[in-house]
Chain A
Amino acid sequence: MKRLSQFRRHRIVAPLLLVLALLSIGTTFSMAGAATGAPITAAERSALIEEGERIFLKGCSSCHGINLEGSAIAPALLGVGAASVDFQVATGRMPVADMSVQIARKKPVYNEKQVEALAAYVASLAPGPEVPGESHLNYERDGSTAEGGELFRTNCAMCHNFAGQGGALSQGKYAPTVMGVLPRHIYEAMVTGPQSMPVFSDKTITPEEKLSIIKWIKAAEAEPQLGGASLGRVGPVTEGLLVWTLGLGLLVGVAVWLAMKAR
């Protein structure tokens, strides 16, 4: 039953997710360190940008162009901002492994230091949404779960499902599950609108409201099973499946035993 949810889209990547999660925890801590630590000097900054340029030219420019101008198969990156780079690269979506209908989350290719450098480089050429600092992501303090749920159901549930389990879009595309995604990445996704996802501007959904959404997602993620196996939290389809298999199976099994002659 719980399995059903694991057999969802990412079943092949499932083991990788664990690795990713572990890595992400590491990233979070180092980010926290970076954000709360002393501001980096100009020299450190330009070194970071240089490092980013090196990585970009080697790993990204073949598709996105040497000047971030994009190509037939990849969008221009001028003005996408550090947030977009961080989301795409740190969730493993970029660099893309296979050009299928949709670019899936996978194990990141670059470590967090490299991602930071890349983001700094892309942001240095044209400004765009920044990576939210850890101090801006204190959703426990600044968010409200109930309000977040309301916002989630109005703005997110139509694609990501009522419990954030993900859902189908047209032509084989899908909205991925938001379970197990870092708060930073959720935030960046809302601000930058990756792939099929639209942008949710800070004026229509304020940063505080975004934190509320994150807080609700994290509450849903942590919510234990209040009524037994969750059946994937996808609504009546799996419930119907369970009735026709386990429910009717058990009852017909007993019926067969009942009508069998004893020896």
Chain B
Amino acid sequence: MTASERIAGTVANYVDERTGAAKWMKKNLNKVFPDHWSFLLGEIALYSFVILLLSGTFLTFWFDPSQREVIYDGSYAPLKGLEMSAAYASTLDISFEIRGGLLMRQIHHWAALIFMAAIVVHLMRVYFTGAFRKPREFNWIIGVGLLTLGIVEGFLGYSLPDDLLSGTGIRIAEAIIQALPVVGSYLAFFAFGGAFPGEAFIPRIYTVHVLLLPGAFLALITVHLMLVWYQKHTQYPGPGRTNNNVVGYPLFPVYMAKAGGFFFIVFGVTAFLGAVASINPIWLYGPYTPGQISAGSQPDWYMGWLDGLVRMAPPLETYIFGRTISWNILIPGLIVPGILFTGMALYPFIESWMTGDKREHHLLDRPRNAPNRTALGVMSLTFMLVALINGGNDIIAITFDLSINQIMWFSRIGIIVLPPLAFVITKRLCLSLQRADRDLVLHGRETGRLVMMPHGEFVEVHEPISPEKAWLLTQHEQNPPLALEENDLHGVRRPGVLKNKLRARLSKAHAVSIPKATADDLKEIEHH
């Protein structure tokens, strides 16, 4: 036994005698994680969060979250001598007086954008592969919660420097609060400590941004990961992979090295962006005052869709009994996002209600094998994309020589027409892919080689595919739609018949598929 082994042994013994960790560690170091690039998307989000904590802590050492008026006297000449808030001035100081401060600011902001983008692609992966199904519904809901919190947290961070752009953003947020029926102006006055912008808002959102929400994030992320750990990761279908096993690499050492290494990769890429690409150049925006505005005032991308919805909203307000209801703000700012996010959070339950499927699922779906779900996902993404495009309509207009009015009308019509269209196209595409899979199993792969038959006809040689491939293409379940009887045994209509009718229709739509190739089909072909 070498000296280092002896020391390690002593330490391990010390810890285990007090915690009994050995048993737990033994079990978990051998925990198996399936390997696939798309399983790393959530990790990108996780690591970005760690980067945000680290870089954010750095920034707090110098940031002064106060709206106290100061005269700027730093090294950025074009702002010298101007009145501004201490928050803005200290952000300038972080950028220009603190060595590495600008780098950290840019890393923090890029990490935030990557964090949100990674959450969205992770969510897409989970959705399109059906990973949210039983037993993972809780984690899906936590994920939707994290996405929502991320949007809020990001927006608060964007607001903190108190530059012209962030002030404009806060102004719009205030208008949304103010538009709430009955309580709006009260809530706005409470939040801002008086009339907008007041002097209380920056210090308040600072506490929320650096303490309250990061705490909530930590708690939710911990539960999210513990559930992944405890429930074991899902895996893609393939030979030897079943609903009852996990095929992959053990946590120690392979997965640890890979995941640990990937943290450094994410940090490195974020630092690279922070080094080479400017983000949120607040010194160009200038300090906030409500009388100023810049052309092309946009939120960060994860809020862009919301801004796009607000832009395209119809000019509707109701005046009744001396009161005002601003539909032009409430619909795009609260009602539509509320419906979207609630629907998203409830989707696992909606799908299981439609299919009647109450079993555990650990084997992922190939998106084409769940055409209805995939189409619904693409439909939602199309909606978001149209909204996002409209959120940048002025930049798009000036870049591509278009008119903002044209883009606005395109979006207003597109947001209604394109999502259903995307649904239909995607569903058809999925079914075509299913058909192609079936043909591939039954007739083999096209080799591109032509052979002349004795009677002069040319045919392409088809090669049978490997048993592994054939299994991959046919392993999925194809469940029939729910059979819901309208009448009971005595011919009496059941209660809740409308609900059942809807459920049966949805279930039927959900179950549409091309029958997969079976061994029987293959045998039949061989007989010919």
Contact = CB atoms under 8 A, between A and B. Distances in A.
Determine direct contact between A and B, CB below 8 Å: yes
Interface of A: 1, 4, 7-9, 101, 145-146, 149-150, 153-154, 157-163, 166-175, 216, 219-220, 223, 225-231, 233-244, 246-248, 250-252, 254-256, 258-259
Nearest to B82: A146
A235 to B, nearest CB: 5
Given A162-B285, A229-B277, A251 B114 contact: yes
Contact of A259 (B36, B95, B265, B401): B36
Interface of A is mostly: helix
B258 A258 contact: yes
Kindly list the 7 A-B residue pairs having the minimum CB-CB distance in the complex, ordered from nearest.
A167-B295, A240-B301, A172-B403, A162-B294, A227-B278, A255-B40, A168-B394
14 contacts: A145-B77, A161-B295, A167-B295, A169-B404, A226-B102, A227-B277, A228-B277, A247-B113, A247-B117, A252-B41, A254-B265, A254-B269, A255-B37, A258-B40
Nearest to B40: A255
Given A145-B78, A166-B295, A175-B295, 11 more contacts: A9-B399, A145-B77, A226-B281, A227-B106, A229-B276, A229-B278, A235-B294, A242-B277, A247-B110, A250-B272, A259-B37
A228 B114 CA distance: 18
A150 B281 contact: no
Nearest to A229: B277
Interface in B391-416: 392-395, 397-399, 401-406
Interface string B35-55: 111111100100000000000
A14 to B, nearest CB: 14
Contact of A255 (B110, B117, B262, B286): B262
B165 interface: yes
Nearest to B402: A172
A7 B285 CA distance: 22
B297 A225 contact: no
Interface residues of B, number: 73
Nearest to B397: A168
A86 B78 CA distance: 30
A171 B41 CA distance: 41
Given A225-B278, A251-B266, A255-B37, A233 B284 contact: yes
B80 interface: yes
B398 A248 contact: no
A79 B266 CA distance: 63
A248 B262 contact: no
B279 interface: yes
A154 B401 contact: no
Contacts of B80: 145-146
A1 B277 contact: yes
Interface string B257-278: 0100110011001101111111
Given A1-B277, A157-B293, A175-B295, A239 B102 contact: no
Contacts of B265: 251, 254
Contacts of B275: 228
Contacts of A228: 106, 274-278
Contacts of A8: 398-399
Please indicate which of the listed interface residues A173, A236, A255 has the most CB atoms of chain B within 10 Å of its own CB: A236
A153 B258 contact: no
B114 to A, nearest CB: 5
B113 A246 contact: no
A153 B294 contact: yes
A248 B121 contact: yes
